[in-house]
């Protein structure tokens, strides 16, 4: 069974540009979570999508946004990039609110965003 | 929202010794406490979790203890091995597992 996949693996942008990151959850999972992992700051919660809707967002500015598609894949958009947005962006999935949720988050390998 | 703190930030242990990492949380309503392990260059993976209705859970060489009164929980690794070297993240949530707040991570180094 395929795990959570993310693309691109690496992305280099300059300040002010926009970045789009993509995530495909494990088959059967309806929830997708986005986390930012910046050096020394651990895993900071960005967004949670379930069944196509945004369920919750963390303490990030509105220029961080995303969406979930009917096939449950998701994309994260970061507008007006700033230097401090450089980080590893991790996507995770689980069965969400479907009742099949065991509690475990299954993470992808991440997308490394570098802002110059 | 929930705030989770981990300490120490770095822990070095001799192979075969035990390692203990402690986390504190702020929201007394939190009821789910997982631990994730992230090896260098790899994705975080769940190693053990505990819910608020139990005080301790064991799985082979790892165990987690929960003190709801003091609002802290700890990861215990016994008979450490080099493959235990990794960053360990604790997390807590008052919403089950659907909105986890992670700590900043502990770097554990097992010295052969």
When pLDDT is cut at 50, 70 and 90, the band that residue B79 belongs to is very high
Beta-carbon separation of B101 and A104 below 8 A: no
Amino acid A101: pLDDT: 67
Residues of chain A with Cβ-Cβ distance to B3 below 8 Å are none
pLDDT digits (tens, 9 = 90+) for B27-66: 998 989 999 999 998 999 999 999 888 899 999 999 999 9
Token pair in block for residue A25: 């959850």
Please state, in angstroms and rounded to a whole number, the distance separating the CA atoms of residues B86 and A17. Answer: 34
CA distances from B91 to A77, A81, A98, A103, B68 (A): 25, 28, 22, 12, 14
Closest partner residue to B43 (CB to CB) among A55, A94, A108 is A108
Question: Cβ(B54)–Cβ(B73) under 8 Å?
Answer: no
Residues of chain B with Cβ-Cβ distance to A40 below 8 Å are 104
Residues of chain B with Cβ-Cβ distance to A50 below 8 Å are 98
Amino acid A104: pLDDT: 85
CA distances from B25 to A18, A79, B58, B100 (A): 35, 32, 21, 12
> pLDDT of chain A along its 116 residues, tens only?
689 999 999 999 999 999 999 999 999 899 999 999 998 778 999 999 999 999 989 889 999 999 999 999 999 999 999 999 999 999 999 887 666 666 789 999 999 999 99
Beta-carbon separation of A45 and B89 below 8 A: no
- Selection from B67, B74, B75, B76 nearest residue B30 by Cα: B67
Whether chain A has a CB inside 8 Å of the CB on B54: the answer is no
C-alpha neighbours within 13 Å on the C-beta side of residue A29 = 30
Which chain B residue's Cα is nearest to A96?
A: B98
When pLDDT is cut at 50, 70 and 90, the band that residue B108 belongs to is very high
A95, A8, A87, A97 alpha-carbon torsion, rounded to 10°: -10
């Amino acid at each position: 069974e395929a795990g959570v996949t993310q693309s691109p693996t690496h992305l280099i942008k300059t300040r002010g540009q926009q970045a789009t990151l993509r995530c495909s959850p494990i088959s059967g999972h309806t929830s997708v979570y986005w986390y930012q992992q910046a050096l020394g700051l651990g895993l900071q919660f960005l967004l949670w999508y379930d069944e196509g809707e945004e369920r919750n967002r963390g303490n990030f500015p509105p220029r961080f946004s995303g969406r979930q598609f009917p096939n449950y894949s998701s994309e994260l958009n970061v507008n007006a990039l700033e230097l401090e947005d450089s980080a590893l962006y991790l996507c995770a999935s689980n069965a969400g609110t479907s009742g099949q949720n065991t509690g475990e988050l299954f993470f992808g390998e991440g997308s490394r965003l570098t802002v110059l | 929202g929930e705030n989770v703190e981990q300490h120490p930030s770095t822990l070095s242990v001799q192979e075969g010794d035990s390692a203990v990492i402690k986390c504190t949380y702020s929201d007394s309503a939190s009821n789910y406490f997982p631990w994730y392990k992230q090896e260098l260059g790899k994705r975080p993976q769940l190693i053990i979790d505990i819910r608020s209705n139990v005080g301790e859970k064991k799985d082979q060489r790892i165990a987690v203890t929960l003190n709801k009164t003091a609002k802290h929980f700890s990861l215990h690794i016994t008979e450490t091995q080099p493959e235990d070297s990794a960053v360990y993240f604790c997390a807590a949530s008052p919403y089950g597992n659907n909105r986890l707040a992670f700590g900043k991570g502990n770097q554990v180094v097992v010295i052969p």
